[in-house]
Amino acid sequence: MDSNTLEYAKILDQQDQLASYRKEFYLPEQKIYMDGNSLGLLSRRAESTLLALVDSWKTLGIDGWTEGQYPWFYLAEQLGERMAPLVGGKESEVVATGSTTTNLHQLVSTFYRPSGKRTKILADELNFPSDIYALQSQIRLQGLNPDEQLIRVKSDDGLTLNEDRIIEAMTEEVALIVLPAVLYRSGQVLNMKALTNAANERGITIGFDLCHSIGSVSHELHEWGVDFAFWCTYKHLNGGPGSVGGLFIHEKHFGKEAGLAGWFGSDKTKQFDMNHTMTAAGDAGAYQIGTPHILSVAPLLGSLEMFEELGMERIRDKSLALTAYMMECIQAELEEYSFDIGNPTDSTRGGHILLLHKEAARICQALKAEGVIPDFRAPDGIRLAPVALYNSFEDVWQTVKILKKIIKEETYKQFPNERGVVA
């Protein structure tokens, strides 16, 4: 049977063992949501734990810190334990705290100690702007010049990075390496194990940004010997807009003084002694700063259940099947319309497809007008993320069909080729 048909997509959906999870989510009505890598959708379980914590505030007031179903005082650590399997960390190595950017600041200020010849930070030229801004400012805080101290490994094709090139750049001048696990535009999954090995051999500290990988691909951070990692939870983990992020710190670094200290990094039994000499927690908890954002961490309590029930392997398998099917449909339907696939097509692809087209900005607007939610990444990228927990093979088929209609009938020409404020 021709795979590029609605009937075939429906057969794939019938065979899909994760299909029942779709009804756990609030799917925007009459829309096909393909943007779960920017903002994951709300699930009923996330909604219910959010409401439970609003209720604990309502009924318990200050006592909510230690009483009720989810005492607030311990949530950051408990959620750390629950996220640990997603990153391959030990329970004590992970904590829910901060945001991607603030956690990066915390970890770089903890680990970046330029001295002698080793003064540079190694990153890449395709990195997300916020990460680069944070690294530049951390270099400035050391009284150094980011133009001299920040190395950005070049990409040969503007889309992907070559691990060998990154390893070649790990010279004796490099003090710290910060790289994405999955690149936000092309979705390339970097070989974290090989990169970490190379960094460890050269005595260079290495950390990864897991924003686009957590909840989408698996990691073995502890086993690989990664020094640290950080992430947000509003993309594949479906924690809600601005939900609290997470960080991993390898246990070999436990006891290392936090660059940015604050009382929530205390040993929990000592925190309320109110002493002016801090007794830091002996695990990842030490890298928290202030009072946790309880209402912004609450949805994760429910959302993570689904990852626990399924395990990352099954989620990744379905994700790969969805993106494989999407590429198949694109090749069959869009061949003559000057689209290029910008993501790696092999198993080093992450959870989304990157379609390149010079009219990408207005094609995205036309897609939205037709009920498909993509996101645009300047200058020419259309990201489409069919998410394992809530997208179907039929969604994928429909998306490509609508894309073809827009291109064939040239309806995208009604829109200006400009981006909106967000995306």
Ligand X SMILES: *Cc1c(COP(=O)(O)O)cnc(C)c1O
Given candidates 8, 70, 72, 184, which one binds ligand X under the rule CB under 6 A? 184
Q: How many positions of this chain bind ligand X (CB under 6 A)?
A: 12
Given candidates 82, 120, 185, 212, which one binds ligand X under the rule CB under 6 A? 212
Return the number of the residue (18 or 76) whose C-beta is nearest ligand X: 76
| Window contacting ligand X (CB under 6 A); options: 18-26, 198-206, 208-216, 261-269 | 208-216
Given candidates 74, 128, 254, 415, which one binds ligand X under the rule CB under 6 A? 128
Q: If we measure between CA atoms, which residue out of 225, 245, 258, 232 comes closest to residue 128? A: 232
Dihedral sign, CA of 376, 377, 381, 383?
negative
Does 209 contact ligand X by CB under 6 A?
Answer: yes
CB 257 within 8 A of CB 408: no
Does 230 contact ligand X by CB under 6 A?
Answer: no
Given candidates 3, 4, 78, 101, which one binds ligand X under the rule CB under 6 A? 101
The CB-of-335 to ligand X minimum distance in angstroms stands at 31
| Window contacting ligand X (CB under 6 A); options: 209-217, 305-313, 395-403, 411-419 | 209-217
The 3-class SS string of 69-92 reads CCCHHHHHHHHHHHHHHHHCCCHH
Does 100 contact ligand X by CB under 6 A?
Answer: yes
Return the number of the residue (212 or 316) whose C-beta is nearest ligand X: 212
The CB-of-328 to ligand X minimum distance in angstroms stands at 27
Given candidates 46, 199, 232, 364, which one binds ligand X under the rule CB under 6 A? 232
| Window contacting ligand X (CB under 6 A); options: 74-82, 206-214, 273-281, 287-295 | 206-214
Q: Which of residues 240-299 bind ligand X (CB under 6 A)?
A: none
Burial 100-116 (b: 16+ CB within 10 A, else e): bbbbbbbbbbbbbebee
The CB-of-189 to ligand X minimum distance in angstroms stands at 13
The CB-of-161 to ligand X minimum distance in angstroms stands at 13
CB 218 within 8 A of CB 195: no
The CB-of-198 to ligand X minimum distance in angstroms stands at 21
Return the number of the residue (234 or 325) whose C-beta is nearest ligand X: 234
Return the number of the residue (3 or 101) whose C-beta is nearest ligand X: 101
- Token pair for residue 68? 């009720």
Return the number of the residue (38 or 56) whose C-beta is nearest ligand X: 38
CB 12 within 8 A of CB 393: yes
Cβ-based burial of 256 (10 A; exposed 0-12, middle 13-18, buried ≥19): middle
- Token pair for residue 327? 């590429």
Q: If we measure between CA atoms, which residue out of 131, 99, 111 comes closest to residue 175? A: 111
The CB-of-184 to ligand X minimum distance in angstroms stands at 5
DSSP-derived secondary structure for 270-310: TGGG--SS--B-SSGGGG--S---HHHHHHHHHHHHHHHHH
| Window contacting ligand X (CB under 6 A); options: 127-135, 308-316, 371-379, 383-391 | 127-135
Q: How many CA atoms lie within 13 A of 371 on its CB side?
A: 13
Return the number of the residue (102 or 279) whose C-beta is nearest ligand X: 102
Q: Which residue has the tokens 């001048």?
A: 173
Distance CA 276, CA 259 (A): 17
| Window contacting ligand X (CB under 6 A); options: 27-35, 97-105, 294-302, 382-390 | 97-105
Given candidates 39, 95, 169, 211, which one binds ligand X under the rule CB under 6 A? 211
Given candidates 180, 239, 299, 381, which one binds ligand X under the rule CB under 6 A? 180
Peptide bond into 379 cis (omega under 30): yes
Strands 340-341 and 375-377: unpaired
Per CB under 6 A, residues contacting ligand X are: 99-101, 128, 130-131, 180, 184, 209, 211-212, 232
